[in-house]
Amino acid sequence: MKVSDIQVLTHSSIRIRTASGIVYADPFHVEGEPRDASLILVTHSHYDHFSPEDIRKICGDGPVTLVIPESMEKEAAQALKKQAIDVRIVTVRPGTVTEVCGLKVEAVPSYNIGKFFHPKKEQWVGYILTDPADSEGTRVYIAGDTDVTPESLRVRCDIALIPVGGTYTMNAVQAAKLINTIRPAVVIPTHYGSIVGKPGDGERFASLVEPPVEVVLQL
């Protein structure tokens, strides 16, 4: 996987092209009805990350797999049934490593420290995605709604997509400190400029990230 295969659509809504098909993470406010998803990753149950209406827009005629935290399984199943959405559901907990749709999916803890929006006890997650067909073994980290945590500081990845908007997640300064510690080759900031965070948060974050990490702004 390359940076050119990754698109941040809005907020934390992400689309990734892989050799195994199209992957979405937290689809939200998707334009049109692309109906091209093979795999959908949901980090947690908040409306701007788990949106059945948007899941409907991206599900095509072929089989679609939805990966969700185990703690939201019942809620998700009910919501999808109400929308008459037929997907295969795979549940994960922090620390789970599984193969889904030909891709390696690792679940990473995603939670707040000193804030109540995303409590650790919910066992919500971020994901590290690896495509076995990728000869370079690129690891793509989709952080979800998290602060800087001991677990995030131990992440090994080549491309990171992390929130920088503050309030519900780490802010630009905190996010830069995380990236300057884990040092991926490329980082793409998310979760700012719409529901939360200012449009300039991406630029502020970029100004604080140390070389040789490359910052790619897509919002």
Residues with Cβ within 8 Å of 6's Cβ and at least 6 positions away in sequence, in order, are: 14, 15, 16, 17, 140, 159, 161, 188
Q: What's the pTM?
A: 0.96
**Angle between helix 201-208 and 172-182 (nearest 10):** 40
Which secondary-structure segment (H or E) carries 77? helix 73-82
Cis upstream peptide for 212 (omega within 30°): yes
Q: Left if phi > 0, otherwise alpha if psi is -120 to 50, otherwise beta: which for 144?
A: left
Does the CA dihedral 80-81-84-86 come out positive or negative? positive
Q: Left if phi > 0, otherwise alpha if psi is -120 to 50, otherwise beta: which for 26?
A: left
Backbone φ, ψ for residue 207 (5° rounding): -70, -20
Number of domains in the chain: 1
Q: What is the pLDDT of residue 140?
A: 98
- Pick the closest to residue 166 from 195, 142, 126, 186 (CA basis): 195
| CA-to-CA separations, 71 to 38, 75, 88, 102, 191, in angstroms, rounded | 23, 9, 17, 24, 23
Per-position pLDDT tens, the chain of length 219:
899 999 999 999 999 999 989 999 999 999 999 999 999 999 999 999 999 999 999 998 889 999 999 999 999 999 999 988 999 999 999 999 999 999 999 999 999 999 999 999 999 999 999 999 888 999 999 999 999 999 999 999 999 999 999 999 999 999 999 999 999 999 999 999 989 999 999 999 999 999 999 999 999
Q: What is the pLDDT of residue 60?
A: 82
Q: What is the pLDDT of residue 135?
A: 87
Residues with Cβ within 8 Å of 40's Cβ and at least 6 positions away in sequence, in order, are: 23, 24, 25, 27, 55, 58, 64, 65, 66, 67, 87
Q: What is the pLDDT of residue 115?
A: 93
Tell me the residue range of the domain where 87 lies: 3-215
Distance CA 157, CA 85 (A): 33
Q: Left if phi > 0, otherwise alpha if psi is -120 to 50, otherwise beta: which for 124?
A: beta
* Residue 204: CATH number of its domain: 3.60.15.10
Q: What is the pLDDT of residue 33?
A: 95
